[in-house]
Structure 1
């Protein structure tokens, strides 16, 4: 198909606009605050009963994220195998999208009486979101040329930030001024927010679903389409082993993603439980992160053009080390706001740059980019599983989220060392051509 078609590119970017509200409202702002408050209201303490076990609500939150992404990591190879066999990649993207969106809409019924079912709905929303992203990401090498990967990836993330901010502003107005909307029930504004996330996600997703191609022609020669995805992952794994640049990047990506995505999922819980910040302050802080993140996405795309992707990523991870150090010593709201601004500058930038860097490293003329992006996304999901599990376990064993922050600090330091081992793109290409000759 024709690459760099403005209509297709803009439609592809609109899925970031559609789904990013989940990351902002459900993962980072209103839901974590509401979850902590509802759990406290249900039990009267920080601990809640989960199938007979007493567990801190913040630890349960972390473990739910771990379980959701572990399920996704197991599902994705099955789905990509069937998608490769049938040639209906977009259908799977739609399935996961609707699963996540409907789960968000059902969170409208989240009260202290429905706490446990709502935990499962939250997990399902994460499965839907992360599953759809696998197929969404795999479109980039098919619709754009390599020289535009950074720019289009950054455009998608920026649209995601902008769209999610607009919806959060509406939701925030309900939370802060419910009387303006004639709302008298205290929990209703938050629950309406969860419903609007699912509705927004589902409606705006129709734009990419309308214009994106269905997928490849279908690999009907597969002996076992159900498990073909695992065979494809195995094939990609052995191909990656023979590409030193790509294998080193994925090792570094796995490690620093453990830290980056864990911060994304637990930052608001940290502010609510460790710093005891009011819900309004936390939500406004997350809004600030999104606004700063728009500039951050384009800043890292510009930086990568000047010094290269790997060096730009190294700068981003180094900033994360500083963020973790500052967060460990943070005790006041003002300090938390400064840390949040730093998070905003590097959060979207590193995610955008990681996606485009991997797109550049996929071997040219690869007929099925879905298998490579399945490998990339399974790597990312397993990193999230490990990161959130480590974070939750350290807090469970020590009783302090600050010790969990120290664990993330070590993870980012290891990630920086692994990035440092990667040669520049120009050096890598020179060595590859020399070996081929």
Structure 2
């Protein structure tokens, strides 16, 4: 994080990224002195309500973040920034998004957790758009013009007021990651029976991790009904995340049931002193690691893998078979994962793998819609399979067959893609 004092003293000359979070109520004009170099401007965590009309003077600006401020409207001046590709204004009080606020090269728009009821039809003119994050607003419909955005790959529309998924949405040729839980279009899903575990039986130890939806901790479970055991706890936060509602995530985890490629659930926590919702889960061995890192600002929709990662064909097959199997299992439960990515897969060097992070999971609104939603997720699997094959040096007929299967999974004609059950069967041949 940079300081306003260093900016005003000229000590930041030539920098490409500026991060200022210091209670700003006005845009510091000294930022314009960085116009020849500045590419990423992060003004999140301030008290800003406006940006200057001449923001376009930052001629190299590619990324603009203004989250956790006090904007009630997406500033129109943003649309005049010709090089701007990524715009993030999460957790403001935005009610209005003017057409003029959309920059011509927009690739990634984040307006999560605002008060937006309507989006401009001009959004469909942003033909470079790849990621659209709108969870936690008050949208009752999406602009039909978005059907023109054929590069759009990830959409987050959970926790809005949508009563249906438009037909064009299910036909977008590049769409692979879709989250829509917590809308009126989602019917009530009956939660299967799950063991209720009193908080008093759990003795919290160290924290294992923290994500947008909750905190994961190791714990010792002492129950009179069984031997003591080490477990993992996930305590869910109540706020809306970029993917949707943490409570929807918990419901999907429970409904997913058991599968060898899922992290097993012991039960649901009850009687937490702060009434937090949570799950008791199997403790994963420390030999597991994330297969990839999440996308960067540059890669936008593609995971970042270790530069030196190489995989043998048997390992590629084992990962692909495991993920195809567990995703087909979820589809059979009426659930789409919504975030089928390498960074949400835990793996061991022999290819043993577990699919995690149900933050974007959604229940199928109807059985009829389920098949189209599953074939959208087939594309996500195809992208993952392609990333695995890129890191495999083996040659031969089996690799050729895998490449042909991968091409079928990512083809633009959604109805021609195989469902994951078929993919699983073909991977076992």
Larger Rg: 2
TM-score range, shorter chain: under 0.3
Q: What TM-score comes out, normalization by structure 2 length?
A: 0.23
Greater relative contact order (Cα < 8 A, sep 6+) = 1
Q: What TM-score comes out, normalization by structure 1 length?
A: 0.23
Higher helix proportion (structure 1 or 2): 1
Higher strand proportion (structure 1 or 2): 2
